[in-house]
Amino acid sequence: MYSEHEILDRNEQDNRRAAHFHQRREALYTLFARCFGLEIDPEAWEALGTLPGLAGDYLVFLGGPDRELAEGLESLARVREELASQGDASLLVQLAREYASNFLGVGPDTASLCESHYRHDDRSKADSIHFRVKNHYQMAELAKSGTFSEPEDHLAVEFSFMAHLCARGCANAAAKPRELRALLEWQRDFLQGHLLIWVPAFNHNVAGMAQGRFYTSIAALATRFLELENGWLTQKLQDWNCITQTDEFVRTTSETSESEI
C-alpha cells in the first residue's frame, strides 16, 4: 500500500510527465509547420537539429521505438550531412530552390500544400474545406497571421493549429482533466477530419518529385508522425471512455445496493 504522500508524489510525477509529452508534441508540430510554411533559413536549419531528440522523447512516452520513424530520421540525417558539406550559404540556396520547385510551381512538378487541392474542394461554397478549418480556428479564438499570405487550409497553418491545441493540453494536463479530454477529442477530430485525409497523398506526391531529397524526408516524417498521433489519441480516448464507463457502473451498482438495504 502506498501512503497518501507517495500517491500524491506519483500523481505529480505523472502530471509532469504528461505536460512534458504535450510540450514535445507541440514542438514537433511547430517544427513541421515551419518546414512547410517558408523556405528554410538559418534558424529553421538549426531547429531541425533538435528533431531526433524531440522524436526520441515522444517515442519514449508512447512506449518504444518506431522503425519507420527511425528510418526517416536516418534518411534526413544523411540529407542534412550532404547539404551541410556545401557550406551554409550554398545549402540555404539549394533548399530555397527545392522549396520553389516542389511547392511554388518553379519547375516541372509541383505538390500543392493546401488541403482543398487534394479533396477537390470548391472554396466558394459555404461548407468548403477552407470554411471548415477556418471555423476550427475561430472556435479556438485564433486567426491566421496577416503576414502569411497562404490560405487557412495550408499545411503549415493546420500543423500550427495542432501545435496550439497541444500547448493548451500542456497547460491543462495536471489541473483540468476534463478540459484536457475535450482538447484531445478536438485534436483527434481535426486530425482524422483533415490532416490524415490528405497528407498521405501529399507525401506521395512529394516522394515523386525530382528536385532534391530534403522535403521528401520531411514529408515522410510528418506523415508518420501524424499516424502515430492518431494511434495515441485514439487509444488514449478509448481508455478514458472505459474508465468513465467503469466508474459509472460502480456508482450505479453502489446506489442500487444502498437502495436495497
pLDDT digits (tens, 9 = 90+) for 46-89: 999 999 999 999 999 999 899 999 999 999 999 999 999 988 88
Does 32 map to a domain? yes
Q: Residues 162, 190: contact at Cβ < 8 Å? A: yes
Label residue 249 by pLDDT band (50, 70, 90): very low
Looking at residue 6, what is its pLDDT? 36
Whole-number pLDDT of residue 128 = 87
pLDDT at 138 over 70: yes
The angle formed by the CA atoms of residues 198, 72 and 57, to the nearest 5 degrees, is 95
User: How would residue 250 be classed by pLDDT, with cut points 50, 70 and 90?
Assistant: very low
What pLDDT is recorded for position 2? 40
CA distance 243 to 222: 31
- Inside any domain, residue 210: yes
What three-state secondary structure class fits 134?
Answer: helix
Residue 101's nearest CA partner among 41, 147, 151, 39 is 39
The answer on pLDDT for 122 being more than 90 is no
Q: How many domains does the chain have?
A: 1
pLDDT for residue 260 is more than 90: no
pLDDT of residue 5: 40
Q: Is 250 domain-assigned?
A: yes
Ranges 85-99, 111-125, 140-154, 247-261: which has the least confidence: 247-261
Angle (CA) 194 192 189, round 5°: 95
Q: How high does pLDDT run on average in the chain? A: 85
Q: Per-residue pLDDT tens for 179-188?
A: 888 999 999 9
Task: Provide the CATH number for the domain around residue 185.
Answer: 1.10.3480.10
CA distances to 61, 69, 88, 180, 200 from 74, in Å: 21, 9, 21, 34, 20
Q: Does some domain include residue 36?
A: yes
**Domain around 80:** 4-256
pLDDT in tens, 200-214: 999 999 998 867 789
Query: If you search the block for the grid coordinates 492518431, which residue do you land on?
Result: 230
Distance CA 111, CA 142 (A): 27
| Domain-located, residue 261 | no
pTM: 0.87
3-state secondary structure of 71: helix
